[in-house]
Amino acid sequence: MPIRQPSKPRASRPRAQARPYHHGDLRRVLIEAALQLAAEGADVSVREAARRAAVSPGAPFRHFPNRDALMAAAAEEAQRRFRAEIEAALSKAPASGPLARFRAFGLAYLRWALRNPAHFEIISTGRYFVHGSSAELTRDNAELIALTEGILAQAAEQGLLRSVDLKRIQIAGRALVYGFARMNLDGHFPRWGVEAGEIERMAEGALDLFIAGIAKP
């Protein structure tokens, strides 16, 4: 009688592991989606951001209960990127040269706004949400205003300015960079004969003309 060989134990199948959540940081992914939608000129909503993020329509509401909350977070992110551009430019400007720092500040503002028009609109207009609802944006704007005040005060102390009315200089400078960036956003430059490849150079020239006007000869 043949000896029956003991049957080999069946290999146990590995237990299926739960798949990790698709996004490790859903909040950041939703913010990026909102920024991208704005850059495309599309309507920004929590549900559309969820669709872009490839998550269920209800998933984002754990982070953003409504569109205003999402847009506030998107504006704060755009502002952080803008602030980083300013700080990088100022780090390369001489600490003892206030007009060079003023120029670096203005040029960084213009270049960032020209290269990121939708982000500029988010942080500079009320189209997307009420800016006063974000304490972070309010604080950051106040810090940037104080920074320009300090730079101009240093220039005045060194006797570099034609006028001692620093508030007027500051507002005029703000009007220049904001107005130039807004002209670009609204598509004005072609009718003024400025080609797309010339806009940044024109911005730099306008800023230099302004500084030459406020500086003592």
Tens of pLDDT, residue by residue, the chain (217 residues)? 444 444 444 444 444 333 334 556 889 999 999 999 998 988 889 999 999 888 887 787 888 989 999 999 999 999 999 999 999 999 999 999 999 999 999 999 999 999 999 999 999 888 888 888 889 999 999 999 999 999 999 999 999 999 999 999 999 999 999 999 999 999 999 999 999 999 999 999 999 999 999 999 9
- Say whether 44 sits in a helix, a strand or coil: coil
- Report whether 50 contacts 56 (CB < 8 A): yes
The pTM for the full model equals: 0.83
End-to-end CA distance of the chain: 117
Q: Token pair 């269920």 is at which residue?
A: 56
> pLDDT (tens digit, 9 = 90+) per residue, 95-109?
999 999 999 999 999
Q: Token pair 């010339």 is at which residue?
A: 198
* Among 86, 87, 127, 110, CA closest to 179: 110
- Report whether 141 contacts 123 (CB < 8 A): no
Q: What is the distance between the alpha carbons of residues 89 and 108, in angstroms, rounded to a whole number?
A: 6
The CATH fold assigned to 74-214 is Tetracycline Repressor; domain 2 (1.10.357)
Q: What is the distance between the alpha carbons of residues 93 and 30, in angstroms, rounded to a whole number?
A: 36
Q: What is the distance between the alpha carbons of residues 196 and 91, in angstroms, rounded to a whole number?
A: 29
Q: What is the distance between the alpha carbons of residues 173 and 169, in angstroms, rounded to a whole number?
A: 6
